[in-house]
Each structure stands twice: as C-alpha cells, then as structure tokens.
C-alpha cells in the first residue's frame, strides 16, 4: 500500500502549526494584559506621588506663613510691651483747636504704650471731624506723639434743621462747602460771618453745596475793597446760583444792613462790579443819599438801582 501524498504541516516540534499558533495566541494574551495593568498602575502611582508632593509643599507653605505671622505678631507685641507709656502729645495746628480738644478726641487709656498706638487709626479718627481738613500723626521716641492739623476756615454760617431736630442748628460753612459744627472759635468771629441761604436742588436738598469757592472769592474781594462796608453784609443768598458757572444768568445776592439787595453776576469780575458799586453809591450821595432797595450789578458794564420810595429822587 502506497503512502498518502496528503501531508499535514507540522511545526518544528512535529505538531500541526495552525492549532499550535492558535493555542499559543490564547496562552500569550495574559502576558500582554499583565504588562498593561502594570503600566497603568505605574501611571496612577506617579500621579498620586506628584499630588502628594504638591500637597506636602502647599501645607509647608501654609505652615511657614502661619509661623511667620505668629512670630511677627508675637515680636510686635513683645516690642510694644517694651516701649514706654505715652507721656506727651506734641500738637500744632493752623486753626483754633487745642491740645485739650485732641486729648478728648483720642481719649488714650491710662498707661497706653507708644507702640500700641495705631497712627493710621488715629489719623482717620481726627479727620472724621468736620473741622479737620487733614491730620498728620507720628510716633516720637521714646514716649511722645506728634500731631499736626490743618483746619477748615469758616466763611459763612447756616441754619439747618434735620428731621429729628426740634430747632434749627447753626453750622459753619468752609470754602470747599463743608458744613461743620465749629469748636473753639471766638463768639465775635462767628457773629461776624454772614448767613448763607443755600441753593436747593430739584429734590429739595441743599447738599452738596457747589460753587462756594466762587462765593469765597466775592467775600474776599469785598473785604479788600471796603472792609467797613463788607461788615454790613448780613446774608448771602444762593437761591439763583447753582454753582455751575457754565449756566448763563447765575447770580449771587447779598443782603446788607443799609441795602436790601445787591445782585452780583457770578460770571463777571468781582472787582469791576465793586468799582461800579462805589461809583453808583457816590452818585446817590449827591442826590441826598436816599434809601436804596436794590442794586443790580449783574448787567454788563452798568448797574440798575431801585429806590425804596419807588421813584428816582428829584424826578
């Protein structure tokens, strides 16, 4: 009997190749899966390790900062405790307030030490008072505080009444329009100030007071021009002066002892208007000095006069 020509292919070990390859493929798969799992675990481990390092660094920074802050606070407290109690206030001002007023405002507790004083808080406390424009506070070793004040200067006074006020209260008006109570002024100084009738805004309020610096220019010019006449000025009315110099027709009205109303233009030069006032009053004297009800100086290069009698004298 002849052997068959059909031959099964065999592997080098004498086994059929397609089955062997299939079996080896199946058996080798777990090896590759184990390698992939190991790599994934390594990546996860690396990420966890990096996160650990970041958190450790963060906690170290927080701990270090806390330690520094605590140490700094402890050092400050220790340093402050070693400083001497405040013994003197070195005070100066360009106004009328005195050291007694400052001591009452700051009200240091007995035995307070120099470095326990917060210069920024003390400055803010002083500047919170309306009469103080600015304050400078310095520590002077070993046991003094130097305080310098710049004060408001009153140019007018005003009566105001709040909702809870039974009676109107007098307040002073500074050049920048600040209203303040005013302390340590002489009565003669206060009584010499003209009263202000303020402009009222559409909502009925009087603040902010605008254009007060322009009013101050008029008062200063009038005092330079004729001090005795200026002392007869009783009331400054801003009923028709909003403080906006861009608006046409803005006027400042002055009520004096001898003349009921003198009207100034807020736009024109005050010295020139005062010169016209001088000339007009000199002419009125030639007419027998009749009583004048109103003088309007707001007209360009002229003036209008209304006499109390309602007619021109001699007519």
Residue 79 has pLDDT above 80, yes or no: no
Q: What is the pLDDT of residues 90-144, one digit of tens each?
A: 999 999 999 999 999 999 988 899 999 999 999 999 999 999 999 999 999 999 9
Which pLDDT belongs to residue 82? 60
Query: By C-alpha distance, which of 189, 95, 107 is closest to 134?
Result: 95
Confidence of residue 312 (pLDDT cuts 50, 70, 90): confident
Alpha-carbon distance values, 26 to 10, 22, 270 (Å) = 19, 6, 111
Q: Render pLDDT for 33-72 as a digit per residue (tens, 0 to 9).
A: 667 777 777 777 777 777 777 787 777 777 655 545 554 4
Whether residue 204 is predicted with pLDDT greater than 70 in this model: the reply is yes
Mean pLDDT of 260-284: 96
What is the sign, positive or negative, of the torsion defined by CA atoms of 101, 106, 111, 114? negative
Contact 253, 276 (CB under 8 A): no
Quick check: 228 and 188 in contact, CB under 8 A? Answer: no
User: How many angstroms separate the CA atoms of 10 and 173, rounded?
Assistant: 118
CATH of domain 154-307: 3.40.50.11690
The CATH code of the domain at 88-151 is 3.10.20.310
CA–CA distance, 313 with 151 (Å, rounded to integer):
49
Q: How far apart are CA 277 and CA 295, in angstroms?
A: 8
Helix/strand/coil for 8: coil
Please, is 5 exposed, middle or buried when counting C-beta atoms within 10 Å of its C-beta (0-12, 13-18, 19+)?
exposed
Task: Return the pLDDT at 70.
Answer: 57
Contact 105, 122 (CB under 8 A): no
Distances (CA, A) of 65 to 75, 76, 79: 15, 16, 20
The predicted pLDDT at position 55 comes to 80
Do the bridges between strand 292-296 and strand 304-307 make them parallel or antiparallel, or are there none, so unpaired? antiparallel
Q: Is the dihedral of CA 255, 259, 265, 270 positive or negative?
A: negative
CA-derived radius of gyration, the chain = 45
Please tell me the predicted confidence (pLDDT) of residue 313.
Answer: 76
**Domain spans, the chain:** 88-151, 154-307
Whole-number Cα distances in Å, 210 to 30, 156, 173, 177 = 90, 14, 12, 7
Do 239 and 249 touch, CB atoms closer than 8 A?
A: no
Please say if the pLDDT value at position 11 is more than 50. no
Give ∠ CA 149-154-156 in degrees, rounded to 5.
165
| pLDDT value for 308 | 92
């Amino acid at each position: 009997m002849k052997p068959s020509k059909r031959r099964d292919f065999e592997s080098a070990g004498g086994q059929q190749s397609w089955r062997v390859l299939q079996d080896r493929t199946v058996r080798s798969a777990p090896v590759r899966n184990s390698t992939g799992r190991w790599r994934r675990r390594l990546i996860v481990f690396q990420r966890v390790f990096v996160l650990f390092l970041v958190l450790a660094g963060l906690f170290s920074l927080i701990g270090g900062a806390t330690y520094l802050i605590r140490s700094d606070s402890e050092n400050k407290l220790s340093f402050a405790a070693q400083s001497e109690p405040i013994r003197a206030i070195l005070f100066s001002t360009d106004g009328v307030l005195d050291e007694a007023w400052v001591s009452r405002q700051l009200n240091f507790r007995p035995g307070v030490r120099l470095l326990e004083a917060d210069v920024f808080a003390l400055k803010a406390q002083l500047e919170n008072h309306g009469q103080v424009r600015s304050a400078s506070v310095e520590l002077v070793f070993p046991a003094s505080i130097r305080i310098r004040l710049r004060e408001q200067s009153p140019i007018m006074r005003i009566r105001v009444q709040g909702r809870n006020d039974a009676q109107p209260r007098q307040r002073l008006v500074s050049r920048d329009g600040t209203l303040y109570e005013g302390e340590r002024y002489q009565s003669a100084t206060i009584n010499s100030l003209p009263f202000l009738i303020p402009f009222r805004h559409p909502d009925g309020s009087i603040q902010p007071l605008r254009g007060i610096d322009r009013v101050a220019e008029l008062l200063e010019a009038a005092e330079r021009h004729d001090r005795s006449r200026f002392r007869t000025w009783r009331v400054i009315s801003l009923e028709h002066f909003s403080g906006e110099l861009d608006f046409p027709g803005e006027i400042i009205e002055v009520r004096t002892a001898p003349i009921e109303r003198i009207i100034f233009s807020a736009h024109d030069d005050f010295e020139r208007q005062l010169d016209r006032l001088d000339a007009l009053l000199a002419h009125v004297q030639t007419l027998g000095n009749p009583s004048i009800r109103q003088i309007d100086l707001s007209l360009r290069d002229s003036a209008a006069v209304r006499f109390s009698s309602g007619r021109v004298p001699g007519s």
